[in-house]
């Protein structure tokens, strides 16, 4: 066993009786300081029998149940009461008292948490948030095993009827010494997912690379290792420790050394599961070469272009939520204009990581009239106010994120798909008239959750408001998408711009 602390999450449907888990504690080879959490999940919004034509029009009939805002708010109050009731029930029963005695004898921590939402999604998100090393599923959750295996990289077991456990997948041992100081607590992604099947790039973090190192890593900057993305030169490299990296040739060579040093410190402080790791840079001569961790599954642009049925609604919603969290982290660091599909890289397990955030932290000012600006205008990722002075750069990024949300919903549209119109000119009338079925990517017809679709479109509209003051903040976007994933209504939802225009 690894010497690092184990965090074990036991998941059960809260509609069932409290699991007998004290026998599980003895079978886990726990040691002093380990932590066990019992997560009971109350599944909300399961009734699909009632029609709700008023909210999204006739498109939602016979598909799913939708509620008015008042009904949903009342439902959420009821759920809150149910959560507290179930928590009180769990913590007052004899089984809980016996578990606490076992935990005390083993010198481990034990806690109970009750939440509401879709069991699979809520369970996976919670496991990731606490950086669990092992998940144990109640024996009645057999249908959910595959989902947890697909979306988690930690150890997974199921609880048997006698209280023992059967291992579905062994936990992977990650020594704390393999990570740089301070990174263990800050990163919320599992190391295997983080590495994207790559050798550990965390060991490659350094402030400076020599030009000779990167020349060797790219085989002399060989054209076979070069790809172009919106005019950017991006090389695939292999460092001496055999870890793969991306090397981005920064177009601007006018940044002073003092400013470079300051911004490099900012970039190296960014540690988040949805942002690629900045490993270092080379500034020899006029070159500005930025080195990032390798991500194996290409960009969001590629997946949208491929139009694969494997790129399901569930995957797209997860990408939207992860990208929003990554953008929030970058904006906190005052890094802007990184939000477009080509900048969102996808891991082997379809987790999104924002990449290619460069030295110019306010890249809006650096756009000028470059070819990249032309491309951005074509796909309309830039907020309408981007050329103005004193703009709220975070709100400008939210506009760009709104375009990405629409692309996740509709699929990448060509000029032929949009009848010769630009993407937003084609989409806005459909939003205003609530012709949502004409927006949905045909690849999603069999997998889309119409309840979530409705709220995701509403969030996209709030992001795309022409008036930046009326747009959501990035914090609100993250909160709203969390509600969408949990199939809750989005709180404090004022009329959208298209609804005001229609009225």
Write out the DSSP string of 239-274.
Answer: -TTS-EEEEEE-S-----HHHHHHHHHHHHT---TT
- Final residue belonging to a domain, choices 293, 313, 333: 293
Phi, psi of 288 (to 5 degrees): -130, 100
Name the packing angle between helices 423-432 and 393-410 (round to 10°).
Answer: 80
* Tens of each residue's pLDDT in the chain, 503 residues: 345 678 889 888 887 777 667 667 766 777 787 888 889 888 754 443 333 333 333 333 344 444 444 554 555 667 778 888 888 888 888 888 888 888 888 788 888 888 887 888 888 888 888 888 888 888 777 777 778 887 888 888 888 776 677 887 776 543 333 333 322 223 333 334 444 545 444 444 566 889 999 999 999 988 888 887 666 788 999 988 788 899 988 766 566 777 777 777 788 788 888 999 888 888 887 778 889 989 988 899 889 888 888 889 999 999 999 999 999 999 998 888 888 898 999 998 899 999 988 765 555 555 544 444 444 444 467 777 766 666 888 999 999 999 999 999 998 666 777 777 777 888 888 888 888 888 888 888 777 888 899 999 999 999 999 999 999 999 999 999 999 998 887 765 555 556 555 54
Instruction: Indicate whether 139 and 233 sit together in one domain.
Output: no
The burial class, CB within 10 Å (0-12 / 13-18 / 19+), for 30 is buried
Q: Specify whether 337 is located in the same domain as 474.
A: yes
Does pTM top 0.85 for this prediction? no
- State whether 158 and 260 are in the same domain: no
| Whole-number pLDDT of residue 48 | 39
Concatenating the DSSP letter of every residue in 44-77 gives -S----S--HHHHGGGGTTT-----HHHHHHHHH
- Distance (Å, whole) CA 381 – CA 370: 15
Instruction: State the SS3 of 417-478.
Output: CCCCCCHHHHHHHHHHCCCHHHCCCHHHCCCCCHHHHHHHHHHHHHHCCCCHHHCCCHHHHH
Tokens coding 155: 């150890």
Residue-range definition of the domain harbouring residue 163:
7-169
125 plus 264 within the same structural domain: no
- What is the per-residue pLDDT across 274-305, written as a single tens digit (0 to 9) for each? 999 888 888 887 778 889 989 988 899 889 88
Contact 382, 400 (CB under 8 A): yes
Q: How many domains does the chain have?
A: 3
Rg (CA), the chain: 24
345 and 477 part of one domain: yes
Q: How much is the pLDDT for 480? A: 93
Q: What phi and psi, each to the nearest 5 degrees, are found at residue 353? A: -130, 125
Let me know if residue 178 belongs to a domain. Answer: no
Pairing of strands 35-42, 109-116: parallel
Whether 181 is covered by a domain: the verdict is no
Do the beta carbons of residue 301 and residue 343 sit within 8 Å?
A: no
pLDDT at 371: 42
Is beta strand 226-229 parallel, antiparallel or unpaired with respect to 232-238? antiparallel
Instruction: For the beta carbon of residue 206, count every other beta carbon within 10 angstroms.
Output: 13
Q: Is residue 18 included in any domain, yes or no?
A: yes
Report yes or no: 497 and 461 within 8 Å, Cβ to Cβ.
Answer: yes
Name the one residue in this structure whose structure tokens are 């079978």: 27
Three-state DSSP state, 204: helix
CATH number at residue 40: 3.40.50.620
Residue 288 and residue 328 share a domain: no
Q: What is the CATH number of the domain that holds 283?
A: 3.30.200.20
Specify whether the CB–CB gap between 341 and 404 falls below 8 A.
yes
262 lies in the same domain as 343: no
Same domain, 151 and 215: no
Residue 1: per-residue pLDDT: 39
Q: Are residues 305 and 287 in the same domain?
A: no
Q: φ and ψ at 71, to 5 degrees?
A: -65, -40
pLDDT of the residue at 255: 67
Q: Give the C-alpha separation, 63 to 51, whole Å.
A: 8
What is the C-alpha separation between 442 and 424, in angstroms, rounded? 18
Which CA distances in Å does 420 have to 33, 413, 417, 423, 453? Answer: 63, 11, 8, 9, 26
CB-based contact 230:211 (threshold 8 Å) = no
194 within a domain of the structure (yes/no):
yes
Does residue 220 lie within any of the structural domains?
yes
Question: In this structure, are 198 and 142 located in the same domain?
Answer: no
Structure tokens belonging to residue 338? 């990184």
| 3 state DSSP class of 172 | coil
**419 domain-assigned:** yes
CATH of the domain at 359: 1.10.510.10
Residues 323 and 287 reside in one and the same domain: no
Q: Which of these three, 139, 169, 199, is where a domain ends?
A: 169
CB distance 249 to 175 below 8 Å: no
Reported as type and span, the H/E element at residue 156 is strand 155-159
- How many alpha carbons lie under 13 Å from residue 92 in its C-beta half-sphere? 6
Structural domain ending residue among the three candidates 293, 313, 344: 293
Residue 287 in domain: yes
43 contacts 16 by C-beta, under 8 angstroms = no
Measured between alpha carbons, how far is 500 from 38 in angstroms, rounded to an integer?
46
Q: Which two tokens stand for residue 193?
A: 């997912």
Any domain includes 179: no
* Structure confidence at residue 409 (pLDDT): 92
Q: Are residues 273 and 312 in the same domain?
A: no
């Amino acid at each position: 066993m690894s010497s690092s602390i184990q965090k074990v999450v036991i998941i059960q449907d809260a509609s069932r009786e409290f699991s007998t888990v004290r026998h599980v504690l003895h079978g886990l080879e726990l040691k002093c300081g380990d932590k066990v959490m019992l997560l009971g999940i109350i599944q909300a919004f399961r009734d699909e029998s009632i029609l709700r034509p008023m909210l999204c029009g006739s498109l939602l009939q016979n598909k799913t149940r939708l509620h008015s805002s008042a009904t949903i708010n009342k439902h959420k109050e009821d759920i809150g009461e149910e959560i507290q009731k179930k928590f009180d029930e769990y913590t007052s029963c004899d089984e809980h008292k016996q578990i606490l005695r076992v935990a005390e004898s083993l010198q481990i921590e034990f806690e109970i948490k009750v939440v509401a939402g879709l069991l699979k999604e809520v369970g996976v998100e919670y496991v990731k948030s606490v950086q669990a090393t092992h998940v144990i599923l109640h024996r009645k959750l057999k249908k959910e095993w595959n989902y947890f295996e697909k979306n988690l990289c930690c150890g997974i077991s199921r609880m048997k009827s006698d209280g023992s456990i059967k291992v579905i997948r062994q936990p992977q041992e990650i020594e704390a010494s393999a990570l740089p100081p301070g990174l263990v607590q800050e990163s919320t992604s599992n190391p295997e997912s983080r590495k994207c099947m790559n050798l550990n790039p965390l060991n490659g973090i350094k402030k400076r690379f020599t030009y000779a190192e990167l020349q060797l890593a790219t085989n002399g900057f060989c054209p076979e290792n070069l790809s172009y993305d919106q005019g950017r030169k991006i090389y695939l490299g292999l460092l001496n420790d055999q870890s793969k990296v991306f090397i981005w040739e920064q177009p601007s060579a006018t940044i002073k050394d003092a400013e470079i040093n300051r911004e490099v410190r900012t970039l190296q402080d960014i540690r988040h599961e949805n942002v690629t790791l900045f490993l270092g840079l080379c500034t020899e001569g006029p070159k500005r070469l930025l080195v990032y961790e390798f991500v194996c599954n290409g960009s969001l642009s590629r997946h949208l272009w491929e139009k694969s049925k494997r790129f399901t609604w569930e995957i797209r919603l997860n990408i939207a939520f992860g990208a929003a969290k990554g953008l929030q982290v970058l904006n906190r660091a005052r890094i802007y204009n990184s939000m477009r599909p080509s900048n969102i890289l996808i891991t082997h397990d379809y987790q999104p990581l924002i990449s290619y955030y460069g030295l110019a932290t306010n890249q809006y000012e650096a756009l000028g009239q470059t070819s990249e600006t032309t491309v951005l205008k074509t796909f309309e990722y830039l907020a309408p106010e981007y050329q103005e002075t004193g703009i709220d750069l975070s709100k400008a990024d939210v506009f760009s994120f709104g375009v990405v949300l629409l692309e996740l919903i509709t699929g990448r549209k060509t000029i032929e798909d949009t009848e010769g119109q630009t993407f937003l000119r084609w989409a806005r009338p459909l939003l205003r008239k609530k012709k949502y079925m004409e927006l949905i990517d045909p690849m999603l017809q069999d997998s889309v959750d119409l309840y979530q679709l409705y709220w995701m479109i509403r969030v996209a509209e709030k992001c795309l408001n022409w008036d930046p003051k009326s747009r959501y903040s990035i914090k609100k976007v993250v909160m709203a998408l969390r509600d969408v994933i949990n199939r809750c209504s989005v709180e404090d939802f004022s009329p959208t711009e298209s609804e005001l225009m229609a009225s």
